[in-house]
């Protein structure tokens, strides 16, 4: 298999891979920002005082977490047009990725907040701080240190999950491999190149994850 | 019109149940094989042989660093060019087993490492062989840290199994995809698909949470 490995074809397809690499980066980045926002809002609703909002956020989080991303993707891809909502494929894809990761971010943020000792909140109340002041100055700065690693872990998952977008014919890294396979019938060249690009992203995020952890421990020690 | 489609959908319910059966078969087989291989690799990874540890580490990184969809394509499209012809079903089981084994390997290894060193030292002092130490001293204690994330991993396995619909395994997701071509009500069709996954995953998620709480209580008692 490997002796017939055709590097020339890979070089020829490099511009396509570069374009697709950027597309994967761009769509995952957008979805990541959206997901963190969705996560903060959903977590705030879940932990907040309003019961109906809390139940709503709970249903959202649980239903996302107990169904596969691919099903959610198809749900929006085939479902939104029946409601008369027409988006380009990539928008549908980013929406599905955002909502999916958003539910996981909500859980990560929640466990970070709940890991802070309740004495901290009580001390905040005793000092006359309101809910937002307590969150802003006491809870969140501490919770962030606890959550940075799982958050980056979820970012890695999100980048990998973006490969599913190829199944609704969005042009990204996995789709580039499929194109090379169907154009030239060279699956080894196509998908192994795709895998290498994902590995580059993976090792970058992994390195960043351990780097940030060292920095945070360093800060705590002072 | 909607009620007509609903009746159509209800008529294809048997296909959905067949799909559910396929999902359970694929995930169940991979669960058994993946747990077995994962435990063996995890024990080796926590062991003393540096070379084997490094090899398993590289394997885990390769699997974690690439999307599952790409792994499925590599196994399904590239192995045939190496002379290994595979049907969709065995290819799916191999891909899922490989994925699950790599994750369980890390869970088991970190569980074993978390057992205090004094335990195995005391066992050596009592004249237990390596196998006896593992079997009677280390593993039973490590199981407390291993079991909750293990069940969580099974939930991921069921959800990830939806991806193998891309190579034509007729699981719940594939049945949904086929049905939506005939019954163009995406929300309804994939709502049903999601419900079926929910029915499988939600009890498992709760089981994982329950075990986690239970095991923590046991840990604090020590």
Q: What is the pLDDT of residue B222?
A: 46
B198/A66 Cβ within 8 A: yes
- Residue of A74, A198, A206 with shortest CB distance to B67: A198
Q: What is the pLDDT of residue B6?
A: 83
Say whether pLDDT at B89 is over 90. Answer: yes
Say whether pLDDT at A56 is over 70. Answer: yes
Q: What is the DSSP letter of B12?
A: T
Q: Is B2-221 assigned to CATH 3.90.1150.10? A: no
Chain A hits for B187, Cβ within 8 Å:
75, 78-79, 82-83
Which B-chain residues 156-175 have CB contacts (< 8 A) with chain A? 158-163, 165-166, 172-173
Residue B63, chain A, CB below 8 Å: the answer is no
3-state secondary structure B32-68: HHHHHHHHHHHHHHCCCCHHHHHHHHHHHHHHHHCCH
Residue spans per domain, chain B: 2-221
The pLDDT-based confidence of A217 (bands split at 50, 70, 90) is low
In the block, tokens 């204690």 appear at: B141
Say whether pLDDT at A219 is over 70. Answer: no
- Residue of B77, B173, B198 with shortest CB distance to A70: B173
Q: What is the pLDDT of residue A4?
A: 67
Task: Report the mean per-residue pLDDT for chain A.
Answer: 89
Could you tell me the sign of the dihedral formed by the alpha carbons of B9, B13, B15, B17, in that order?
positive
Say whether pLDDT at A2 is over 80. Answer: no
Give ipTM to 2 decimals: 0.88
**DSSP of chain A, one letter per residue?**
-GGG--HHHHHHTHHHHHHHHHHHHHHHHHHHHHHHHHHHHHHHHHHSS-HHHHHHHHHHHHHHHTS-HHHHHHHHHHHHHHTT----HHHHHHHHHHHHHHHHHHHHHHHHHHTS-HHHHHHHHHTT--HHHHIIIIIHHHHHHHHHHHHHHHHHHHHHHGGGGGGGT--SHHHHHHHHHHHH--HHHHHHHHHHHHHHHHHHHHHHHHHHHHHHHHHHH-
Counting one residue from A and one from B, how many pairs have CB atoms under 8 Å apart? Answer: 130
The pLDDT-based confidence of A185 (bands split at 50, 70, 90) is confident
Rounded Cα–Cα distance for residues B65 and B99 (Å): 11
Higher pLDDT, B180 or A220: B180
Percent of chain B exceeding pLDDT 70 equals 96
The pLDDT-based confidence of B206 (bands split at 50, 70, 90) is confident
Per-residue pLDDT of B109-151, as tens digits, reads 999 999 998 988 899 899 898 889 888 989 988 988 898 889 8
Chain A hits for B197, Cβ within 8 Å:
66-68, 71
Nearest to B197 by CA among B27, B74, B10: B27
The pLDDT-based confidence of B37 (bands split at 50, 70, 90) is very high
Rounded Cα–Cα distance for residues B139 and A164 (Å): 37
Nearest-Cα residue of chain A relative to residue B155 = A66
Q: What is the pLDDT of residue A221?
A: 43
Buried b (16+ CB within 10 A) or exposed e, A101-131: bbbbbbbbbbebbeebeeeebeebeeeebee
Q: What is the pLDDT of residue A58?
A: 94
Chain B hits for A154, Cβ within 8 Å:
none
Q: What is the pLDDT of residue B221?
A: 47
Higher pLDDT, A143 or A150: A150
Q: What is the pLDDT of residue B184?
A: 84
The pLDDT-based confidence of A114 (bands split at 50, 70, 90) is confident
Q: What is the DSSP letter of B171?
A: S
The C-alpha of B124 sits at a distance from chain A's nearest C-alpha, in angstroms, of: 35
Say whether pLDDT at A101 is over 70. Answer: yes
Residue spans per domain, chain A: 2-221
Rounded Cα–Cα distance for residues B72 and B89 (Å): 11
Q: Is A2-221 assigned to CATH 2.40.10.120? A: no
The average pLDDT across B8-34 equals: 93
Residue A51 CB coordination number (10 Å) = 8
Say whether pLDDT at A222 is over 70. Answer: no
B186/A164 Cβ within 8 A: no
Nearest to A177 by CA among A24, A1, A3: A24
Say whether pLDDT at A129 is over 60. Answer: yes
Percent of chain A exceeding pLDDT 70 equals 95
Judge contact between B164 and B22, C-beta under 8 A.
Answer: no
Rounded Cα–Cα distance for residues A89 and A2 (Å): 36
Q: What is the pLDDT of residue A22?
A: 95
- Joined together, the tokens standing for residue A213 give 């952890």
Which residues of A have a CB under 8 Å from any CB of B?
Answer: 1, 62-63, 65-72, 74-75, 77-83, 156, 160-164, 166-167, 174, 177-178, 181, 187-188, 191-192, 194-195, 198-199, 202-203, 206
Judge contact between B171 and B165, C-beta under 8 A.
Answer: yes
Element holding B129 (H helix, E strand): none
């Amino acid at each position: 298999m490997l002796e017939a490995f055709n590097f020339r074809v890979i070089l020829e397809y490099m511009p396509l891979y570069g374009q697709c690499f950027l597309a994967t980066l761009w769509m995952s980045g957008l979805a990541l920002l959206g997901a963190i926002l969705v996560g903060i809002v959903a977590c705030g609703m879940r932990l907040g005082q309003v019961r109906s909002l809390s139940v709503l956020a709970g249903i959202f989080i649980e239903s996302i977490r107990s169904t596969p991303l691919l099903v959610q993707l198809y749900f929006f891809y085939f479902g939104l047009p029946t409601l008369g909502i027409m988006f380009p494929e990539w928008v549908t894809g980013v929406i599905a990725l955002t909502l999916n990761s958003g539910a996981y971010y909500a859980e990560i943020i929640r466990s970070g907040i709940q890991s802070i000792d309740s004495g901290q909140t009580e001390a905040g109340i005793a000092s006359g701080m309101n809910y937002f002041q307590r969150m802003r100055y006491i809870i969140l700065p501490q919770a962030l240190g606890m959550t940075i690693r799982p958050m980056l872990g979820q970012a890695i998952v999100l980048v990998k999950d973006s490969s599913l977008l190829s199944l609704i014919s969005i042009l990204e890294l996995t789709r580039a491999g499929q194109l090379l396979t169907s154009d030239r019938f060279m699956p080894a060249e196509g998908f192994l190149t795709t895998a290498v690009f994902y590995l580059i992203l993976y090792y970058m995020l992994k390195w960043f994850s351990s780097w940030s952890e060292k920095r945070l421990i360093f800060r705590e020690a002072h | 019109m909607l009620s007509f489609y609903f009746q159509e959908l209800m008529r294809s319910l048997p296909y959905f149940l067949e799909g559910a059966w396929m999902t359970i078969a694929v995930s169940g087989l991979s669960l058994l094989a993946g747990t077995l291989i994962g435990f063996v690799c995890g024990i080796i990874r926590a062991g003393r042989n540096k070379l084997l540890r490094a090899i398993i580490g590289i394997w885990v990184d390769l699997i974690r660093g690439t999307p599952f969809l790409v792994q499925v394509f590599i196994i399904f499209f590239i192995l045939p060019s190496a002379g290994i012809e595979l049907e969709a079903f065995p290819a799916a089981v191999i891909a899922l087993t490989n994925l699950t084994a790599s994750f369980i390997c890390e869970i088991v290894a970190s569980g074993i490492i978390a057992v205090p060193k004094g335990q195995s030292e005391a066992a050596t002092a009592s004249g237990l062989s390596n196998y006896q130490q593992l079997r009677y001293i280390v593993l039973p204690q490590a199981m407390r840290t291993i079991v909750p994330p293990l069940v969580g991993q099974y939930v991921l396995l069921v959800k990830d199994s939806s991806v193998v619909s891309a190579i034509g395994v007729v699981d719940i997701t594939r049945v949904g995809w086929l049905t939506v071509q005939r019954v163009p009500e995406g929300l309804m069709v994939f709502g049903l698909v999601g419900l079926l996954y929910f029915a499988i995953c939600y009890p498992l998620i709760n089981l994982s949470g329950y075990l986690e709480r239970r095991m923590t209580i046991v840990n604090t008692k020590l």
